[in-house]
Amino acid sequence: MALNGKTAVVTGAALGIGRAITEILVKNGAKVKYYFIQIRQQKMKGGNFRDRLCFLCNTFASSALQTTADTFGGIDIVCNNAGILNEGEWEKTVSINLLGVIRVTYLVLKHMNKLSGGRGGVVVNTASMAGLGPFLTCPAYSATKHGVVGFTRSMALASIVSDYGIHFNAVCPGFVQTDLMYNIPNNLGQFSHLDIASRLLLLNCSLFFCFSPSVVAECVLELVTDERKNGDHLLVKSNQKSYVTFPEVL
């Protein structure tokens, strides 16, 4: 998919991965529309983007998506990126990381689904390496990301069979240089006794394996623009990427 003239919505776009996704989509010609709901003003890198952007909070109503569709004549790209890691508030973690992805996806279906007059498009969900294997320090977070992977795969198949015209993919980053990663030791809740292991892991990752949000954004761009991708999950570790192969279960 060429991005010139396309309309994109990105959740969790104020910082980190979401901000990097926003910047790379805009640089490649997309119109990225956001809404101030409960996020403070931020200045995007490269102030010339400012007139084309405002921010979308982690939570927003269907009216925000409707306004986007009305303003630009439709929605072509959705990046469900908003997420937290907080084992002490695991219900909030589930609500934002998993329920938020499902909620936004179902809301945008009426705008993108070709069966209801939409133009089709691409939905890219931010999962995690923790969605492909267990993370002992953050079980709830890991469960939400496993859920995102399962939801993405299922929606991709549903779209093919139902002819929605929408591709569903996910990016699965490892350790990214974000506030979420660096704050892991402070958000382990009942698993705080694993704090030493967590800090050692983060130290090793910072020295050898940690990478910039821009690397993840480049992977998202690949999943958006490559029309052959549907149901694909791109694992990113230490600046290396590979597509995940899932076992056949049916």
DSSP state of 10: E
Nearest 5°: CA angle at 10, between 7 and 15? 135
- For 46, residues 6+ apart whose C-beta sits below 8 A from its C-beta are 23
Active site residue 141: yes
Q: How many CB atoms lie within 10 A of CB 139?
A: 16
Of the candidates 34, 35, 106, 141, the residue annotated as catalytic is: 141
Give yes or no for a contact between 53 and 61, defined as CB atoms under 8 angstroms apart. no
Q: Please name which of 31, 87, 35, 141 lies closest in space to residue 14, comparing C-alpha atoms.
A: 35
Residue appearing with tokens 């660096």: 182
Active site residues: 141
